[in-house]
Structure 1
């Protein structure tokens, strides 16, 4: 395999008529890393992937792959390969011919491309099916063939557009493990678009969270989980609650805010002025749930929903200006002192379990 390449996205925008899909984003994806673009539908993640691939023109800015500026190069000349969401296999060709197709287009002699195609099918554990056609394969098998076809060109970067979205939940988890193993084996840069937080957390070395055509945060999964950069990231990842208010005090490294309903909350962090609008994130798994009392570090609220999840229980509480403040409780803790919808409860957490969020 060819060596991995760093991908450098420099002030890249994509404009469709009056609509800006991607707003001047800049990002360095380290060579040999697994990068996941994550965000809701329409946030610009697929447009960005297609611009890296050359399937979408860049309105302004540049994309560099390794030492080469590839902004104006056609897809075949970039050193990237793309695996499409639909797999886009040719129904009338067997697997060897499907995988070898790009080499055929490059004029590689038949026997040489056949040998290389079989080598790629073997890498994907699909060599036993070489003479079959795509319709005779399961979804997971078709995906492996699409991967083999993308990798046969020895790309420096493999681009994957929601590659697991068509698979059933069990196969998704298995293919996740295989993609990660494949990326480590090949050592090339993988750029993977997904709308699944779980998928991005499981696969990525670096997660790029997009919203409305902009990058909200680009960091390791652990950093995104423990220190979400903005209220959007905290809400989208689902592991932090967000409380919004105005600063009433800031001293000794602690900022205190007041929410419109009158409660005050503290968080570690400086640099905020009194009266400034701020958001804080509170870890859902660190919130403690007790019978309502006047002596609470957090706030009193009313239970609006309970979901049993096996090892944990998700309790949703309305209060402090939030309709869906979430508590993730250990199943043993919850069933030792269960609550019901409509119960008044007291929520509390430690100062260390809140994070001061930035504003994009």
Structure 2
């Protein structure tokens, strides 16, 4: 495989007419990193990936792969390879010839290209299916063939556009494990576009959260989850209650006093699994009413209404919940430890 190299985006911008899809983003992805571009539809993540691949022209800015500026190079000369969401396998070619196709286009002889294709199929454990057509494969098997076809060009960076979205939930989990294992074995960077928070958390060394064409945070999965940089991230990542502070800080929107927070903080984020819930009369600062109860197996999610605040949620371990279960309409006391709240500007 190619030697792992750093990739850097410098003030990268993409406009479609009067619409700015990617707005001057800067990002450095260290060599050998599994990076997930995460965000809702229309946030600019796929446009960013396609600019890196060369399938979209950058309006402004630069794309650097190692020491080389690849911004204006054609896709085949960039040192990247892209695996498309649809997999885009040729229906009339068997797996071996699908994988070998790009080498054929580069003029590599039949014997050599088929030998290299066989090696790549072995790498993704698809040797036994070499003679099958794509229609004779499962979704997971098609994905492995598409991976082999992308990797046969020996890229320094592999680009993946929502590669798991077409798979059922069970297979999706299995295939993301395989993707991570493959990336670690190859040692090259993978840049993976997804709108799934769970997928990004499970896979990424570097999570890049995008919103409205800009990067709101780029950090490890743990950092993004525990210390979201903005209210958008806290809400989008999920698992957080985002609570507005009263003007001037020091109290919640309903007037309940708060421990000291940074002077710039205008909101508090508290993980739902760090919320404390008890019967009325407990020494917890807030009073509320149970809105909903959802049994999730290992945990139970309790929706809560508190006067003056947006709806809140608490996630309790199954055993904790069923030791003293509450039902919709019940009054409760709730709160959290000071160390479990995170101030957001």
Normalised by the length of structure 2, the TM-score is 0.97
In the other structure, the counterpart of 1:316 is 303
**Aligned to 1:10, what secondary structure does the other structure show?**
strand
Runs of at least 4 residues off by over 6 Å = none
Q: CA deviation at 1:11?
A: 0.7
Contact 1:159–1:191 (CA<8 Å) still a contact in 2? yes
User: Structure 1 regions of 5+ residues with no counterpart?
Assistant: 250-255
Q: Which residue of 2 aligns with 1:329?
A: 316
Whether 1:257 aligns to 2:244 is no
RMSD after superposition: 1.4
With 235-244 and 74-83 compared, the bigger mean Cα shift is at 235-244
Name the structure 2 match of 1:93: 93
1:266 corresponds to which of 259, 273, 280: 259
CA drift of 1:257 comes to 3.3
Question: What's the offset of the Cα at 1:283?
Answer: 1.5
Tell me what 1:253 maps to.
Answer: none
Task: Give the structure 2 partner of residue 348 of structure 1.
Answer: 335
Counterpart secondary structure, 2:171:
helix
Q: Structure 1 residues 102, 321: closer, same or farther in 2, change over 3 A?
A: farther
CA–CA distance in 1 between the matches of 2:289 and 2:142? 49
Residues 103 and 351 (structure 1), Cα distance of their counterparts in 2 relative to 1, 3 Å cut: same
- Output the CA distance in 2 between the equivalents of 1:150 and 1:92: 18
Contact 1:263 1:320 in 2 (8 A): no
Gaps of 5+ in 2: none
Q: CA deviation at 1:301?
A: 1.3
Report the Cα offset of residue 295 of structure 1.
4.3
Contact 1:40 1:211 in 2 (8 A): yes
Aligned to 2:281: 293
Q: Secondary structure at the match of 1:305?
A: strand
Say if 2:243 and 2:310, in contact at 8 Å, map to a contact too: no
Partners of 1:334 and 1:121 in 2: CA distance: 49
Q: CA deviation at 1:165?
A: 0.5
With normalisation by structure 1, the TM-score equals 0.93
1:252 corresponding residue in structure 2: none
Change (3 A) 1:320 1:13: farther
User: For 1:115-136, what per-residue CA distance to the aligned partner results, in whole angstroms no more than 9, with x for missing partners?
Assistant: 0000000001111111111011
